[in-house]
């Protein structure tokens, strides 16, 4: 959602800063009071700012793109002639954002969209030191990424706070590098919690704040009055590109899940798998279930070998809570369920036949059965530049597609490869090639190798099946 603003408006006076007692907060972090004297109104945020700004960094990411190789150009000339898709020249891209150092070893948390598709990352500290950084983990589903500073020394860090303890009205500070002008601190309150339907990531459960967040703040820190990180600023709602007082931050609870995966050596976030499809409970469904209002999520289908099936969940059940925490949408369920990790069990409060009951569900990652056996298509074919993998619960969960018994999945597509130019997308299921159904990536490679100059490819995408023909 970051986009250039038409203009930069002056910040309004920090009147709200006078609405709470900073001195008492420093001593009693959980006490919420209103000011009782003029002296209390005149207190400052400076101690918290000094405590935290050294751990908030600027993130500079770049990427150099190359021309497609000669084989790709030859493919287009051979099968499309001179009127085929053009091959653009190489170019460079760059991105600017913010990040937060959360570990003395040099781990930095930022937004995935800040470093997405980038291959060269640098981190600039508040004291003007600059470091190169490696990308440890990218997670598009939460829009979070973890970097590791190379050869770190004397780094300041911020302690992770508890976003679950936040309340609407709590005072917060946003720290980042808006518009590239340099490190900036703004203040505001928590305007709302558990915001969904924002359209930023798969796990939508955002903290909303009126602290000024602008382009360049992405990946920066949202700080509570104890100087702890309670969120990663990620997006704004704006018609002009500038701040209008509606900003969103990813809660620190989800940040902790991503960090734990990175610290455990994984390049992907490990999440628990339910093995069921869910939909929101609307007013009509709520009436049918005997609920006073729309709440919970409805189970619409169950994978017969997953945790939901083993726990006894049934199609038509309404899940009202995860370990006692109410859920009002599939986004809220996904967030709450992910926080439980992949060990042990967790109770789900289920409404069935007008009665509520707790069902214990096993926490486990989705299995990769069968193994992925990835195949990168390099030969001259419509799928050149695509990576194909075998279907499994892990692949289906990762790409958010329905599980099927056969076919192979497009797990990745080179941005400027032939497959991308012809419209193939990540998550497509390749059902058949030239009439031969595919059960594995080996089948796919065999059919591609013997296709010659003609390809009839059957694809399943979003529940719709269609066939595309390329060649003579």
| Annotation: binding site for substrate | 113, 143, 216-218
From the list 201, 218, 238, 261, the catalytic residue is 218
Q: Tell me if 350 sits within 8 A of 320, measured CB to CB.
A: yes
Per the annotation, binding residues are 113, 143, 216-218
Sign of the dihedral through C-alpha 257, 219, 17, 198: negative
Best CA proximity match to 96, nearest among 156, 207, 182: 182
The residues, any chain, with a CB within 8 Å of residue 428's CB and separated by 6 or more, are 409, 410, 459, 460, 461
Catalytic status, residue 381? no
Residue in the structure block whose two tokens are 């000011």 = 35
Catalytic status, residue 113? yes
Cis-peptide into 370, omega within 30 deg: yes
b or e along 243-260 (b: 16 or more beta carbons within 10 Å of the residue's beta carbon)? bebbbbbbbbbbbbbbbe
CA distance 219 to 113: 9
CA distance 178 to 220: 10
From the list 113, 252, 329, 381, the catalytic residue is 113
- CA atoms lying within 13 Å on the CB side of residue 137: 24
From the list 143, 224, 317, 428, the catalytic residue is 143
CA distance 85 to 65: 18
CA distance 221 to 148: 17
Catalytic status, residue 3? no
Active site members? 113, 143, 218
């Amino acid at each position: 959602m970051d986009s250039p603003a038409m203009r930069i408006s002056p910040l309004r006076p920090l009147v709200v800063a006078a609405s709470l007692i900073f001195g008492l907060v420093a001593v009693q972090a959980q006490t919420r009071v209103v000011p009782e004297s003029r002296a209390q109104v005149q207190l400052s945020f400076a101690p918290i700012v000094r405590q935290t700004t050294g751990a908030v960094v600027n993130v500079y990411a770049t990427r150099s793109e190359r021309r497609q190789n000669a084989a790709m150009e030859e493919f287009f000339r051979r099968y499309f002639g001179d009127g085929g898709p053009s091959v653009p020249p190489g170019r460079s891209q760059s991105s600017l954002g913010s990040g937060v150092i959360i570990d003395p070893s040099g781990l930095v948390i930022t937004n995935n969209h800040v470093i997405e598709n980038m291959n060269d990352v640098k981190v600039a500290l508040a004291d003007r030191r600059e470091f190169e950084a490696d990308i440890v983990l990218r997670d598009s589903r939460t829009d979070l990424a973890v970097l590791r500073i190379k050869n770190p020394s004397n780094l300041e860090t911020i302690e992770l706070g508890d976003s679950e303890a936040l309340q609407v009205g709590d005072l917060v500070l946003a720290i980042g590098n808006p518009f590239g002008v340099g490190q900036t601190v703004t203040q505001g309150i928590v305007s709302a919690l558990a915001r969904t339907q924002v359209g930023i990531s798969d796990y939508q459960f955002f903290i909303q704040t009126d602290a000024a967040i602008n382009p360049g703040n992405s990946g920066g820190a949202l700080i509570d009055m104890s100087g702890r990180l309670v969120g990663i600023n990620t997006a704004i709602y704006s018609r002009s590109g500038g701040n209008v007082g509606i900003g969103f931050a990813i809660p620190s609870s989800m940040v902790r899940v991503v960090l734990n995966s990175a610290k455990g050596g994984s390049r992907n976030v490990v999440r628990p798998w339910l093995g069921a499809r869910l939909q929101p409970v609307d007013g009509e469904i709520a009436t049918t279930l005997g609920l006073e209002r729309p709440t919970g999520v409805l189970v619409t289908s169950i994978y017969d070998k997953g945790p939901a099936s083993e726990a006894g969940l049934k199609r038509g059940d309404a899940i009202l809570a995860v370990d006692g925490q109410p859920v009002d949408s599939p986004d809220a369920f996904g967030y709450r369920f992910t926080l439980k990790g992949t060990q042990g069990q967790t109770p789900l409060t289920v409404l069935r036949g007008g009665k509520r009951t707790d069902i214990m569900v096993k926490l486990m990652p989705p299995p990769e059965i069968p193994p992925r056996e990835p195949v990168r298509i390099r030969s001259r074919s419509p799928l050149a530049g695509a990576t194909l993998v075998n279907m499994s619960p892990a692949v289906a969960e990762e790409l958010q597609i329905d599980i099927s018994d056969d076919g192979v999945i497009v797990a990745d597509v080179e941005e400027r490869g032939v497959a991308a130019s012809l419209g193939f997308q990540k998550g497509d299921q390749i059902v058949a090639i030239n009439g031969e159904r595919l059960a594995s990536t080996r089948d796919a490679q065999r059919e591609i190798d013997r296709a010659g100059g003609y390809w009839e490819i059957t694809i399943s995408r979003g529940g719709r099946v269609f066939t595309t023909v390329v060649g003579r």
